[in-house]
Chains A and B, each alone.
Chain A
């Protein structure tokens, strides 16, 4: 399968009828693309361009294809030179080039966006997303009502499958991350507290921060990365393969079968994941405290209920539910807006995860303000 000969061009200036060019070798795209053949030929042809009286002889060429013919055609200024010798087989290439004539692609008009327009479009897009999101929330509310009125016909299988994927399968990663964060937090705090002789307050510090803030946030960020991306990609691929349309045609509502189960599954499994992450982070902190400050685990556990009022724990659970629902809603929102092409799928998934994490942190700030005076003893 190797290329026999590289394409050649020979200029012989001395013939009686004037200067002539003889081409030989293989003028096929693969031969042209080998080594520096194309460069040499372009250079040679450019130097010959100004001379309309050249006689061209292509009959010695072994084999040729459309791209090879095109090289000559462009060098001749898209018309036949006055004197041309062709092999019979080559005639067809040039006849085609001749009949086709000049072909031009219309340049797509470049839109010039000035900064005001960019800002305007960004604002419009934002409101469009907001509107879509509100519609989605409304739809889920309606579907939940439908579900409550007739719970026997609800999408139980889907809910349970989603709890398994988003909840159970996330146990490993949340445990690992929670434990490590607990260790790090306890280790760093212990060093600071020891400087002030406040070793015993480690339990307060760790308990409060983990149960009220870090546990829910860590779990939410991990779930947003894990399940958020998978929900968006799943819905996106269903759009690409027209499964979403197929469901609509059969009268199966997207909201009831796809979105509601995901929202409910995350609303159920997120608080459970929050408890799990809390426990793991506290165990990590306990282990670290034992090593660093020689604080016994017994003391740690006994001190915990007094250090952290129950309200904090409940706030943490509430956060879990809200974050879970937000993640599911945001990922579904972006999943349903994916257009049937690969680029949109990639971009949609990225935007979805970034937005989900941002929304979770925003919601966390809202929680901090709303529950300002609650849960501090």
Chain B
């Protein structure tokens, strides 16, 4: 195996966008190893401002791990992850705190604080700043709840009293509490019924438009995937095998992509959205 040099971030490899800004997320030559199992090998990915980037791949291809590495919850074995141009394995704790105030994460199971009410869960990141007056926090929390479609009557409920869809909404409201520029979603529609997941997609779409968010999303749900993503990154064979819009990916000749997008499920989802798939299938 061709082992790369130990962890180091090449200075300023940032491929510049049209307006000269650095990518929001930039992953270069990332390796992840658990014992002798290599999960990621020389993985590169860069996400631009305002994109909704979806990461797809079979189970065990390390999608969630990649997300956790972007959040600094896990360290890659080698390679580097830059968020807003800063290498998150090198920044000091103050800068990391700064970064963390600028992103939000929606965990797959919601990860609400089970001892706090819905209101307190959403208010917690704002209260943590220790500067905002309580009445402003109250108004801001209620506005956030309204944005995700929760009425004020839900405010005093405990997370254990909520249904799965509501937990996701509260978790999204909490992720949005500090108006992040970057939003990470781990399986945002998993476990929701089709109706709810459709309204969730609409919600994220409108928030994306309104707040100008950059969204990084891991999902298995093809409807969500096609409806939301501006670009899709396909993880297979330990790295990103294809990257592009839905239309571009449909033309890529790779067994996993063919299987994933042009299987029965994929074709149904594409037809429902009216995306032409050229009528070309692999058989």
Residues of A within 8 A of B (CB): 1-2, 28-30, 32-34, 37-39, 42, 65-67, 70-71, 73-74, 92, 96-97, 100, 103-106, 108, 339-343
Are the C-beta atoms of B156 and A1 separated by less than 8 Å? no
How far is B154's CA from A108's CA once the two chains are assembled, in angstroms? 11
- B119 within 8 Å of A (CB atoms): yes
Are the C-beta atoms of B132 and A105 separated by less than 8 Å? no
A-B contact pairs, 13 of them (CB 8 A): A1-B102, A29-B132, A34-B131, A38-B133, A66-B143, A66-B179, A67-B132, A71-B136, A100-B143, A105-B119, A106-B155, A339-B160, A341-B114
- Contacts of A67 on B, CB cut-off 8 Å? 126, 132, 136, 140, 179
| Range, interface on chain B | 35 or more
Task: Convert B140-181 into 0s and 1s, putting 1 for each residue whose CB lies closer than 8 angstroms to a CB of A.
Answer: 101111110000110110111000000000000000001100
- Contacts of A339 on B, CB cut-off 8 Å? 160
Are the C-beta atoms of B152 and A106 separated by less than 8 Å? yes
Are the C-beta atoms of B138 and A65 separated by less than 8 Å? no
Known contacts A33-B131, A342-B114: A70-B158 contact under CB 8 Å: no
Are the C-beta atoms of B142 and A341 separated by less than 8 Å? no
Task: Convert B105-130 into 0s and 1s, putting 1 for each residue whose CB lies closer than 8 angstroms to a CB of A.
Answer: 00000000111000100000010011
Are the C-beta atoms of B159 and A341 separated by less than 8 Å? yes
How far is B131's CA from A38's CA once the two chains are assembled, in angstroms? 7
Q: Shortest beta-carbon distance, A257 to chain B, in Å?
A: 26
- Contacts of B135 on A, CB cut-off 8 Å? 74
Are the C-beta atoms of A105 and B143 separated by less than 8 Å? no
- B74 within 8 Å of A (CB atoms): no
Are the C-beta atoms of A340 and B101 separated by less than 8 Å? no
Q: Residue of B at shortest CB range from A36?
A: B131
- Contacts of B140 on A, CB cut-off 8 Å? 66-67, 70
Are the C-beta atoms of B102 and A74 separated by less than 8 Å? no
- B98 within 8 Å of A (CB atoms): yes
- B139 within 8 Å of A (CB atoms): yes
Are the C-beta atoms of A103 and B143 separated by less than 8 Å? yes
How far is B142's CA from A42's CA once the two chains are assembled, in angstroms? 20
How far is B94's CA from A2's CA once the two chains are assembled, in angstroms? 11
- Contacts of A29 on B, CB cut-off 8 Å? 126, 129, 132, 178-179
Residues of B within 8 A of A (CB): 84, 86, 95, 98-99, 101-102, 113-115, 119, 126, 129-133, 135-136, 138-140, 142-147, 152-153, 155-156, 158-160, 178-179, 210-211
Are the C-beta atoms of B115 and A1 separated by less than 8 Å? no
How far is B84's CA from A341's CA once the two chains are assembled, in angstroms? 36
**Which of A30, A70, A71, A104 touches B143 (beta carbons < 8 Å)?**
A70
Q: Residue of A at shortest CB range from B83?
A: A1
- Contacts of A341 on B, CB cut-off 8 Å? 114-115, 158-160
**Which of B131, B138, B139, B155 touches A32 (beta carbons < 8 Å)?**
B131
Q: Residue of B at shortest CB range from A67?
A: B140
Are the C-beta atoms of B178 and A92 separated by less than 8 Å? no
- Contacts of B210 on A, CB cut-off 8 Å? 92
Are the C-beta atoms of A1 and B139 separated by less than 8 Å? no
Are the C-beta atoms of B114 and A106 separated by less than 8 Å? no
Are the C-beta atoms of B131 and A1 separated by less than 8 Å? no
**Which of B115, B119, B147, B178 touches A30 (beta carbons < 8 Å)?**
B178
Question: What would 17 more interface pairs be, CB under 8 Å, given A70-B139, A342-B113?
Answer: A1-B98, A30-B101, A32-B132, A65-B211, A74-B136, A92-B210, A97-B143, A103-B139, A103-B145, A103-B152, A104-B152, A106-B155, A341-B114, A341-B115, A342-B114, A342-B115, A343-B115
* Closest CB pairs A-B (n = 8): A341-B114, A343-B115, A103-B142, A33-B129, A65-B179, A33-B131, A105-B155, A38-B131
How far is B144's CA from A86's CA once the two chains are assembled, in angstroms? 22
Are the C-beta atoms of B139 and A33 separated by less than 8 Å? no
**Which of B132, B144, B153, B211 touches A106 (beta carbons < 8 Å)?**
B153
- Contacts of A340 on B, CB cut-off 8 Å? 114, 160
**Which of B138, B146, B211 touches A105 (beta carbons < 8 Å)?**
B138
How far is B101's CA from A74's CA once the two chains are assembled, in angstroms? 24
Known contacts A1-B99, A341-B115, A343-B115: A105-B142 contact under CB 8 Å: yes
- Contacts of B156 on A, CB cut-off 8 Å? 105-106, 108
Are the C-beta atoms of B139 and A74 separated by less than 8 Å? yes
Q: Shortest beta-carbon distance, B18 to chain A, in Å?
A: 20
How far is B86's CA from A103's CA once the two chains are assembled, in angstroms? 39
- Contacts of B142 on A, CB cut-off 8 Å? 103-105
How far is B126's CA from A71's CA once the two chains are assembled, in angstroms? 14
Q: Shortest beta-carbon distance, A285 to chain B, in Å?
A: 47
- Contacts of A37 on B, CB cut-off 8 Å? 131
- Contacts of A108 on B, CB cut-off 8 Å? 156
- Contacts of B211 on A, CB cut-off 8 Å? 65
How far is B142's CA from A100's CA once the two chains are assembled, in angstroms? 10
**Which of B129, B133, B155, B160 touches A42 (beta carbons < 8 Å)?**
B133
Q: Residue of B at shortest CB range from A71?
A: B136
Q: Shortest beta-carbon distance, A65 to chain B, in Å?
A: 4
Q: Shortest beta-carbon distance, B50 to chain A, in Å?
A: 14
How far is B137's CA from A66's CA once the two chains are assembled, in angstroms? 11
- Contacts of B129 on A, CB cut-off 8 Å? 29, 33
How far is B89's CA from A371's CA once the two chains are assembled, in angstroms? 67
Q: Shortest beta-carbon distance, B17 to chain A, in Å?
A: 17
Q: Shortest beta-carbon distance, B170 to chain A, in Å?
A: 14
- Contacts of B155 on A, CB cut-off 8 Å? 105-106
Known contacts A29-B129, A65-B179, A106-B156: A70-B136 contact under CB 8 Å: yes
Q: Residue of A at shortest CB range from B142?
A: A103
Q: Shortest beta-carbon distance, B87 to chain A, in Å?
A: 12
Q: Shortest beta-carbon distance, B112 to chain A, in Å?
A: 10
- Contacts of A33 on B, CB cut-off 8 Å? 129-132
How far is B115's CA from A28's CA once the two chains are assembled, in angstroms? 29
Q: Residue of B at shortest CB range from A107?
A: B156
- Contacts of A96 on B, CB cut-off 8 Å? 143, 147
How far is B162's CA from A340's CA once the two chains are assembled, in angstroms? 12
Q: Residue of B at shortest CB range from A64?
A: B179
Q: Shortest beta-carbon distance, A106 to chain B, in Å?
A: 7
